[in-house]
């Protein structure tokens, strides 16, 4: 049986394999199966790998959020500049012109016109919608409904 140091080195090797995109999952699982050790040791090392991967995923998520904020900032600046240019073009009455690099024009938007509802809509303009909460409540109370059923709950491993 391998000592703890050897097991740790073996699991570090597996961890490095997880970052290699060209190594398939079955090869990783086979490598994990080939490592000697008690189930408790393996479980601990699995948990170490899982925690490391989740930590990396969290770092990536935080970076994505930071980049999303930066992207939104650039989009807002571009919109501000575009709106400013459009307002200026309207004010001076020059709604269409060309330069050496670009063509500029102000035109009506295409597609469907926007719609605003200002009051109560008559029934002839309404559709019936499925009330999923009412169906779920009836099934949870034990009623048999031929058109619906509740799916079994899944299982998951939790490591804290």
pLDDT of residue 117: 74
pLDDT in tens, 21-67: 888 888 777 777 776 555 677 778 789 989 999 999 999 999 999 99
What confidence category does residue 72 fall into, taking pLDDT thresholds of 50, 70 and 90?
very high
Rounded to the nearest 5 percent, the helix, strand and coil shares of the chain are 55, 5, 40
End-to-end CA distance of the chain: 28
Report the C-alpha gap between 14 and 148 in whole angstroms.
45
47, 10 in Cβ contact below 8 A? no
The pLDDT of residue 3? 60
Q: What is the pLDDT of residues 98-139, one digit of tens each?
A: 899 999 998 887 777 777 777 777 776 777 777 778 888 888
Per the CB < 8 A criterion, the answer to whether 36 and 1 are in contact is yes
Structure letter (DSSP) for residue 159: -
Q: How far is CA 11 from the centre of its chain?
A: 30
**Angle, in degrees to the nearest 10, between helices 4-18 and 25-34:** 180
Instruction: Quote the CA–CA distance of 136 and 146 in Å, as a whole number.
Output: 13
pLDDT surpasses 80 at 153:
no
Q: Give the pLDDT confidence of 125-135 residue by residue, as tens digits.
A: 777 777 778 88
The Cα–Cα gap between 32 and 12 comes to: 11
- Report pLDDT for 1: 47
């Amino acid at each position: 049986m391998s000592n703890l140091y050897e097991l740790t080195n073996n699991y570090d090797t597996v961890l490095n394999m997880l970052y290699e995109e060209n190594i398939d999952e079955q090869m990783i699982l086979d490598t994990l199966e080939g490592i000697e050790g008690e189930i408790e040791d393996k479980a601990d090392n699995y948990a170490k790998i899982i925690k490391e991967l989740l930590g990396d995923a969290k770092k990536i998520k935080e970076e994505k959020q930071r980049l999303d904020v930066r992207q939104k900032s650039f989009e807002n600046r571009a919109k501000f500049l575009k709106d400013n240019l459009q307002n200026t073009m309207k004010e001076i009455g020059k709604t269409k012109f060309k330069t050496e690099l670009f063509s500029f024009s102000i035109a009506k938007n295409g597609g469907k016109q926007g719609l605003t509802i200002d009051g109560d809509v008559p029934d002839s303009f309404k559709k019936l919608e499925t009330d999923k909460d009412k169906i779920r409540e009836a099934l949870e109370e034990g009623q048999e409904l031929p058109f619906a059923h509740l799916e079994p709950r899944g299982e998951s491993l939790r490591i804290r």
